[in-house]
Amino acid sequence: MRDKTIAIFIFLLLAAEGCKNAQDYRREADATSKAYLSAYQEQVTGKVEEFDIETPADTLRRRLMLDQQLRVNDPASFGIRDIPTNRYWRAGDRLLPGGTDESLAVWSGGTNALEIGLVDAVRIAAYNSPAYKARKESLFRTALAMDLEDDTFRTIFSSTLSSSLSVNRDPSERRAVANHSVSHDESGRLQLSRKFRNGIRVTGSIMANLAGMLTGDTRTAWGSSADLSISIPLLRGSGELVNTESLTQAQRDFVYAVRDFEQYKRTFICQIESAYLSLVLAKRQQQNQDEAFRRVIRSTRRSYRMSEASRMSQSQFEQAHQSELSSKASWIASCQNYEATKDSFKMTLGLPPDARIEPRENDLAALESYVADFVDLEVAPYDMGKDDEQGRIVLEDPDSVDDGDLKARTDRAIEIAFSNRLDFVSSRDAVEDAQRKLLVAEDALRAEVTLGASAANFADTVGPSSRRSGVDHGRLHPRDYSLNPLLTVDLPIERRSERNSYRNALISVEVAVRAYQQAEDELKSTIRSDMRAMSQTKDNLLIQYLAMNLAERRVRNQEILLQAGRADMTVMLEAQDSLVSAKNSLYAAMVNYKNQELALQRDLGLLEVSVNGTWKEADLVALGVVEKGRKGKRE
């Protein structure tokens, strides 16, 4: 009876293990990966974020394509849930997510263009950008790989259930109809194994003929057996450091992957912000060119009337007409450039290029207000400057990262980057990885002495040739066992491969140290370049603001002279072209300054970015990295 109970238990255990379907395994894998992600996110960043890789049922891309009636070639363009069922795909058999992505909050439906701002653009990209999704999926895959490595030191249960059917003919029977025998065999095996961190490995298993034990059929051999084995390394291969190296490296790699993803999020924010501001700039340049074209048309019409009244020469009117044609060509080019920039921007967000979107007008005003601290200047009279004793013009050197206040701020920025750049921390940890692998390689040079033992217990078995009465079929007896001790010794006589591995490991330490030195130098070079660029873009912003003011003054003066009939058309046209160029250069300088400031925060590791596309910038002035804006007069 006891044997039948054991058999029933083994059978139910095997059956339960086989009852999981694909979705059960999927849920289990998702739960495991998210648990790893949460644990390592908290370890690296001190916070935990909800991490989903599935595309929601309804996305902004899908809604735009439906509402704006965009052209599509296949239902897959709408999303995974819209793929029709075929012989390879049945959506109902998969766990497909529901709900909508958060970026849909900006869309009210209809066929009108979608108006978005910078914050909206980043949120949309976080849910729709293929590049961003790919990075999240890569991190999720790393978590799955981590789970396999972490499984090394768990107690592993495995089970097998086999069934066989055989038909035998007895050749000794000489009859007209041959005598056949049919036998059916079902056996189950339950095994567990465990490897300990010090290298000891234990394996045990129980096997039983389930069909015979449950039915009591003695026509075929049946019984049960149990075995247990243990292996204990004493020299080479012993110790926690050697045996956990694979797991340790997997854990470190996962930490590096989380750090890299955090830095990628900062880079992603900068890319989207740069793309959005480039779109805003292209729109503003198109508007500037539009104003310039209208201004040139008005000037040409005025010059035509003055020419008709003999107040201006025909050649000057023709020169104005030629300038109008040139301005028209520039205006058309600016319109086409804006459309091309908009298509590129939509692709960056992960939206269809034919979707109708527009940037918000007030974002440019917000940018102008942001940089107002640096351009709120009054244009002072021209200053002749000073010459030296030899009469040579004296030039004031620009700020240098190797001298003065900019050097102090640069040193402070490098110090912040060393502390906050998580990917840079990984380069230092890689040196420790190489050192640890060197110790593992040294261990492989030692002699191998392994102590092992195996024990087995077999039950009585009964077959057709041995039908004894009163035999306790299939029962394990404590006295019926075998014990086999084992001692394995491998002296370090032939260690050529291990010797070369050790030498390579020592070289790898040198390589890791050089890689760290290079990473440190590159980080310092990047920060120095950022600080120079910040200083240059600020000075350029001031210069372009003054240039625009001068260009506006020239145009106003020439328009007054033109009304009085005393203007030179060549000078007038040059002044108008200079104004357009100055306005475009000023707005480009504004965008460059904002982009460079965000790039500096990215390279310092100061941007706080969520996985869903929200971010928080640091106060660089309070940190002593950027000086306050300079107001007042400037010569």
Q: Does pLDDT of 37 surpass 80? A: yes
Smallest Cα–Cα separation from 283: which of 339, 350, 351? 339
> Confidence class of residue 123 from pLDDT cuts 50, 70 and 90?
very high
Helix runs in 83-196, H state only = 118-128, 130-150
SS (H, E, C) 13-41: HHHHHCCCCHHHHHHHHHHHHHHHHHHHH
Q: Which domain holds residue 6?
A: 2-110
Closest CA to 530 of 615, 612, 418, 413: 413
Residue 229: per-residue pLDDT: 85
Does the pLDDT of residue 411 top 90, yes or no?
yes
pLDDT of residue 246: 87
What is the average pLDDT across 4-21?
Answer: 57
The whole-number pLDDT of residue 57 equals 80
**pLDDT at residue 217, as a whole number:** 52
Lowest mean pLDDT among 111-120, 176-185, 366-375, 598-607: 176-185
Residue 122 lies in a domain: no
Q: Is the pLDDT of residue 6 over 60?
A: no
Which has the higher per-residue pLDDT, 215 or 517? 517
Give the model's pLDDT for residue 188. 60
Residue partners of 506: CB distance under 8 A and separation at least 6: 438, 441
Given a cut of 70, whether residue 616 has pLDDT beyond it is yes
φ/ψ region of 209 (left if φ > 0, alpha if ψ in -120 to 50, else beta) reads beta
Of the candidates 78, 77, 26, the one whose C-alpha atom is nearest the C-alpha of residue 53 is 26
Strands 201-209 and 481-490: unpaired
Q: How far apart are CA 365 and CA 286, in angstroms?
A: 16
CA distance 436 to 252: 12
The pLDDT assigned to 340 comes to: 95
Name the band, by pLDDT with cuts 50, 70 and 90, for residue 566.
confident
Q: What percent of the chain lies above the pLDDT cut of 70?
A: 80
Q: Does 517 reside within a domain?
A: yes
**89-93, 102-106, 276-280, 299-303: which is most confident:** 276-280
- As a whole number of angstroms, the distance between CA 63 and CA 78 comes to 8
Q: Is residue 138 part of a domain?
A: no
234 lies in the same domain as 253: no
282 burial type by CB count under 10 A (0-12 exposed, 13-18 middle, 19+ buried): buried
Q: Are residues 65 and 181 in the same domain?
A: no
Q: Which residues does 35 contact at the CB level (< 8 Å), separation at least 6?
A: none
Determine, yes or no, domain membership for 127.
Answer: no
Residue 166 has pLDDT above 60, yes or no: no
Mean pLDDT of the chain: 81
Same domain, 314 and 418: yes
pLDDT of residue 435: 94
What's the pLDDT score for residue 102? 80
Kind of pairing, strands 224-233 and 201-209? antiparallel
Q: Are residues 236 and 254 part of one domain?
A: no
Domain co-membership, 409 together with 271? yes
pLDDT at site 376: 56
Instruction: Name which of 553, 169, 541 is nearest 373 in CA terms.
Output: 541
User: Using 50, 70 and 90 to split pLDDT, how confident is the model at 111?
Assistant: confident
What pLDDT is stored for residue 432 in this prediction? 94
Considering 225-234, 292-301, 426-435, the range whose residues carry the highest mean pLDDT is 426-435
| 360 domain-assigned | yes
Looking at residue 491, what DSSP letter applies? -
| Domain membership flag for residue 119 | no
Q: What percentage of the chain has pLDDT greater than the value 90?
A: 30
Q: Which CATH number is 411's domain given? A: 1.20.1600.10
In terms of domains, do 76 and 206 share one? no
Closest CA to 610 of 107, 262, 292, 95: 262
* Per-residue pLDDT tens digits for 240-254: 888 888 888 999 999
Does residue 489 contact residue 447 with C-beta atoms inside 8 Å? yes
Q: How many angstroms separate the CA atoms of 37 and 262, rounded? A: 12
Higher pLDDT: 359 or 6? It is 359
Whether residue 271 sits in one domain with residue 233: no
Work out the average pLDDT over 56-84: 87
In a domain, 305, yes or no: yes
Could you report the per-residue pLDDT of 414-425, keeping only the tens digit for each?
999 999 999 999
Examine the domain organization and report whether 526 and 457 are in the same domain. Answer: no
Question: Are 386 and 394 a contacting pair, CB within 8 Å?
Answer: yes
Tell which residue, 463, 520, 451, 513, has the closest CA to residue 487. 451
Least confident stretch, 64-78, 136-150, 184-198: 184-198
- In this prediction, residue 483 carries a pLDDT of 75
114 and 107 in contact (C-beta within 8 Å)?
A: yes
Question: Which pLDDT belongs to residue 516?
Answer: 95
- Segment 353-388, tens digit of pLDDT: 999 999 987 887 777 777 666 555 556 666 677 777
Pairing of strands 114-116, 357-359: parallel
- Tell me: the pLDDT tens digits for 302-314? 888 888 888 778 8
Same domain flag for 326 and 378: yes
pLDDT at 186 > cutoff 70: no
pLDDT in the model for residue 54: 83
* Residue 99 predicted with pLDDT over 80: no
Following DSSP, what letter does each residue of 217-280 receive, concatenated? --SS-B-EEEEEEEEEESSTT-SHHHHTHHHHHHHHHHHHHHHHHHHHHHHHHHHHHHHHHHHH
Query: What's the rounded Cα separation, in Å, for the pair 203 and 205?
Result: 7
- DSSP string over 436-455: HHHHHHHHTTS-EEEEEEEE
Please indicate, yes or no, whether residues 235 and 343 belong to a single structural domain of this protein: no
Domain count, the chain: 3
Closest to 64 (Cα-Cα) out of 21, 118, 124: 124
Whether residue 438 is contained in a domain is answered as no
- Tens digits of residue pLDDT in 315-364: 888 888 888 898 899 899 999 999 999 999 999 999 999 999 999 878 87
Q: How far apart are CA 79 and CA 55, in angstroms?
A: 8
Kindly tell me if the per-residue pLDDT of 43 is higher than 80: yes
**Which of 212, 216, 192 has the alpha carbon at shortest distance from 203?**
192
Is residue 550 scored above 80 in pLDDT? Answer: yes
Residue 539: per-residue pLDDT:
85
514 and 457 within one domain = no
Residues 571 and 624 in one domain: yes
Q: What is the pLDDT of residues 522-540, one digit of tens each?
A: 999 999 999 999 988 888 8
The answer on pLDDT for 392 being more than 70 is yes
